[in-house]
Amino acid sequence: MANKIKIESSIENLNPALRFIKEFSIINGLPENKTIEFTTAVDEILSNVILHGYKEEKGEVHIEIYADVSKILVKIHEYGEPFDIEKHKYNPEKAKNGNFEGAGLKIAKELTDNFLFLNLGNEGKEFQLEKKLPRKHITEIYKPEKIKKEEPTGVSFQLGIVAEDDAEDIAKLIYRAYGYTYAKTELYYPEKIKEALRKGEKFGVIVKTKEGEAVGYFAVLRSTDSNIGEVGEVVVSPNYRGKGLMKLMMNALIELAKSKGLLGLFGEAVTVHTISQKVNAKYGFKSTALIIGMFPYIEYKGFKVKQPRISVVIDFLHLVKREKVEVYLPNNYKNIIKEIYENMGIKVINKKFKKLQLPERSKVETIVDFEKKFSLMIIRKYGKDIFEKIKSRYENLKNKGIECIMIDIPLDNPYTKKIVPQLNEIGFFFSGIMPLFHKEKDYLRMQNINLEFKPEWIHVYSDMAQKLKKFVFKDMKKWQKL
Amino acid sequence: MAKIIKPEWAFNSYYVSIIKNQLKDETEVVFDLSDCEIVDSEAIKLIFQLKKEGKRVEVKDPPEIYKKILKILQINV
């Protein structure tokens, strides 16, 4: 959960806000020297916003600070005058003559691991500053040869709920099973696993031999925006595959998720092969979306077709029965959306469009993963400026080198019928449905990707996923602007 | 006699806004940064400007971040 502070754009408020950023960073594990760097970077941006954002007037500055197991992120949002970051480039030669223009931005960029500026038109400006939390990789704790030699030999197993003390065993298990190729790289860092378990960001089951050696692990990552979770981390020790461990763990995990009151589980199954999709289908998960090129390419053992990025199928399992949904379906996607719902056993009522009085300002949240080069915009509230806002953010993100740009659109709002054709015009195409994904509500996902993909690279298993693939490729061909 | 300036915690825009006017008539300024953790570009700019005006400026016990910022900005004040 993000912590939010709202301050008046007055220079007296600078240091109290900075002290909070500093304390928050230290509490969340950022070392002292990195904390100073990060606080200085925030100081530069916040000073700039306070001193120049509103010129002579006073205005509000919104600060959000958030930490997960990998990073600390600060978002600074103000509603002042437009600003073109490109026109404020620092020049050391000019500085020697006393012109320090752009110095603050230069320092903020250099002292953070990721820096993003979003020009939001009449919604002001947003800066995102990110600092990575240093953690030790399992191979820095133990020599790789030693981990590999530790392959367990026991013959009988027992299943238990994952505890913080299991963190190191899990990291070793991942390393033994996948070498360096596991996509969720945080699992190579015992401290990150421990922290996520401690904070309740994930829960899971672990299978150990009688001798206490970990041979299987399966976890759910809780969504921070809805009461659902992702079956996102799974590993079985190479010598223990084909012994029914997956079945044992999946059944236990579903029961555990139910007992914690989760409404649903989802999987992001890669399409380089269909193994994970088959497992999901076996346990009642239904395919609801196909996202083209969501993750950067990594090589999967035995699957060597090089492609620009990895695509995923979203498989969803409702843990609480839903009989019907009443949604506003955009015309060009209504049939496929109905099919997706019906495949989940849910009756769909497509509500008629009704005229809306939109407020002036819309609210769109933007989440960016710089390392994986994807971003997700979530429409939180429609306003008159919605299209312009999305368009300007899309252009900003594209210019920052973000390759896969996704947008989640609420299906319970009539305006969704209007916005979809507009998004098509700037290259967004259909991905599918994200059930209960934000605040326990269903969203339509669309995406934009400026890379070429071939259907033969994408392997899907379920009938619904086959239909999705056909539809997505047709829609991508129609709207994609390469 | 040199005017001694000793910012607490942060020598930044806020602190610069407080002291800037006090330094107008000084010919010699010592910035004692021994209690400082944060230094920002506004502080560097102030030091630079004071020197440019011909004042004698000394920076005592600067924190690591001070040197780092000068390196980033590729200047020497």
In the chain, the amino acid numbered A150 is E
Residue of A nearest to B49 (CA): A98
What are the angstrom distances between the C-alpha of A288 and each of A293, A432, A446, B15? 16, 6, 12, 55
Q: Which letter does DSSP use for residue A51 in this model?
A: I
What are the angstrom distances between the C-alpha of A460 and each of A207, A316, A453, B74? 29, 15, 15, 53
Which one of A11, A95, A111 has the shortest CB-CB distance to B13? A11
- Interface confidence, given as ipTM, is 0.97
Looking at chain B, how many residues does it have? Answer: 77
A9 min Cα distance to partner chain B (Å): 12
Residue of A nearest to B64 (CA): A33
Contact status, residue A421 vs residue A403, Cβ threshold 8 Å:
no
For residue B77, tell me if it sits in a domain: no
Inform me whether the C-beta atom of residue B70 falls under 8 Å from chain A C-beta atoms. no
CA pair distance A327, A331, nearest whole angstrom: 12
**What are the beta bridge partners of residue A264?**
A228, A318
For residue B15, tell me if it sits in a domain: yes
Interface contact A100-B41, CB threshold 8 A: yes
**Residues in A touching B68 (Cβ below 8 Å):** 37, 111
pTM across the whole model? 0.77
Interface contact B72-A107, CB threshold 8 A: yes
In the chain, the amino acid numbered A4 is K
Q: Which domain holds residue B49?
A: 3-72
Interface contact A15-B9, CB threshold 8 A: yes
In the chain, the amino acid numbered A86 is E
Q: What is the CATH number of the domain that holds B63?
A: 3.30.750.24
Strand-pair category, A309-318 with A286-296: antiparallel
- Within A243-373, strands assigned E span 264-270, 286-296, 309-318, 324-327, 347-350, 363-369
Neighbour order of strands in the sheet with A60-67 = A3-8, A60-67, A71-78, A125-132, A114-119
Closest CA to A168 of A136, A145, A199: A136
CA pair distance A243, A156, nearest whole angstrom: 11
Inform me whether the C-beta atom of residue A248 falls under 8 Å from chain B C-beta atoms. no
How many structural domains compose chain B?
1
Residue of B nearest to A110 (CA): B72
Contact status, residue A38 vs residue A21, Cβ threshold 8 Å:
yes
Mutate to test the interface with A, among B11, B14, B47 (most CBs of A within 10 A): B14
CA pair distance A111, A105, nearest whole angstrom: 10
Inform me whether the C-beta atom of residue A93 falls under 8 Å from chain B C-beta atoms. no
For residue B32, tell me if it sits in a domain: yes
For residue B31, tell me if it sits in a domain: yes
A99 min Cα distance to partner chain B (Å): 9
Digits of tens for pLDDT over chain A (482 positions)?
A: 679 999 999 999 999 999 999 999 999 889 999 999 999 999 999 999 998 887 777 889 999 999 887 899 999 998 877 777 777 889 999 998 889 999 999 999 999 999 998 887 777 889 999 999 988 888 888 888 887 777 676 678 899 999 999 999 999 999 988 888 787 888 999 998 998 999 899 999 999 988 888 999 999 999 999 999 999 888 998 888 888 898 899 999 999 999 999 999 999 999 988 988 999 999 999 999 999 999 888 766 666 667 889 999 999 999 999 999 999 999 999 999 999 999 999 999 999 988 889 999 899 999 999 888 999 999 999 999 999 999 999 998 998 899 999 999 999 999 999 999 999 999 999 999 999 999 999 999 999 998 999 999 999 999 999 999 999 999 999 998 87
